[in-house]
């Protein structure tokens, strides 16, 4: 939503200003029909850049923190559900510890990178041809693939962003 409803500025193009104004007018019109209910849900990584008028119209403002260990564990298990792997509960716990500070998107990227480990092993092995190998000949994804992937895929959210989110939440967030 920040791309559409960022704070207005003197250098902003007139067409952008009109789009914002029209969006806000339409958003106001959503609540006028008493027999219908509509939920407007928006998400942003830059809440501090939202236009003040837009912020007022979004009555419930919730800060969603980075996933905790249990949530990261669930994300990895869900992403690997249809993939061949040999991870056991202790391995999943290790991946959860390894990914402290990772967002959901970071977790998806990490799993994609880890899944490439077995493929890279085939590519590096001269006795197998990647184009003719059968799926059952590819080794399962392992904890070592995640450890290697974590050296490549780093968390994208920095501490100063987290602090800015917390400050914004303390000013404008809603208490549940």
Check residue 13 and give its pLDDT.
Answer: 79
d(CA 68, CA 34): 40
Asked whether residue 39 is domain-assigned, the answer is yes
Task: Answer yes or no: is 8 within a domain.
Answer: no
Same domain? For 89 and 149 the reply is yes
Structure letter (DSSP) for residue 66: P
Provide the pLDDT for residue 126: 56
Residue 7 lies in a domain: no
Global pTM value: 0.78
Do residues 150 and 73 both lie within one domain?
A: yes
User: Residues 27, 81: one domain?
Assistant: no
Q: Are residues 119 and 98 in the same domain?
A: yes
**78 and 151 within one domain:** yes
CATH number at residue 98: 1.10.8.60
Whether 26 is covered by a domain: the verdict is: yes
pLDDT at residue 145, rounded to an integer: 98
Name the domain count of the chain: 2
Does 151 lie in the same domain as 75? yes
Instruction: Let me know if residue 52 belongs to a domain.
Output: yes
115-134 per-position pLDDT tens digit: 999 988 876 665 566 677 77
Is residue 9 one of the residues assigned to a domain? no
Clarify whether residues 145 and 98 are in a common domain: yes
Low-confidence ranges of the chain (pLDDT < 50): none
How many C-beta atoms lie closer than 10 Å to residue 84's C-beta? 13
Q: What is the pLDDT of residue 129?
A: 65
Shared domain for 59 and 133, answered yes or no, is no
Q: Residue 128 has what pLDDT? A: 60
Domain of residue 23: give its range.
Answer: 14-64+164-172
- As a whole number of angstroms, the distance between CA 94 and CA 17 comes to 49
Residue 151's alpha-carbon distances to 40, 41, 120, 146, 147, in angstroms, are 39, 35, 16, 9, 7
């Amino acid at each position: 939503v920040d791309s559409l409803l960022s704070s207005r500025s003197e250098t902003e193009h007139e067409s952008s200003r009109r789009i914002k104004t029209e969006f806000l007018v339409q958003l106001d019109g959503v609540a006028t029909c008493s027999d219908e209910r509509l939920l407007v849900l928006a998400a942003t990584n830059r809440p501090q850049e939202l236009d003040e008028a837009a912020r007022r119209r979004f009555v419930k403002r919730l800060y969603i923190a980075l996933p905790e260990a249990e949530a990261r564990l669930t994300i990895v298990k869900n992403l690997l559900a249809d993939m061949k792997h040999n991870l056991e509960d202790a391995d999943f716990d290790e991946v959860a510890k390894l990914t402290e500070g990772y967002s959901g998107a970071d977790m998806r990227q990490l799993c994609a990178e880890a899944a490439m480990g077995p493929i890279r092993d085939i590519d590096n092995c001269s006795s197998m041809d990647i184009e003719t190998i059968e799926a059952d000949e590819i080794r399962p994804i392992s904890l070592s693939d995640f450890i290697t992937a974590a050296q490549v895929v780093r968390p994208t959210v920095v501490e100063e962003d987290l602090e800015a989110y917390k400050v914004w939440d303390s000013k404008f967030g809603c208490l549940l």
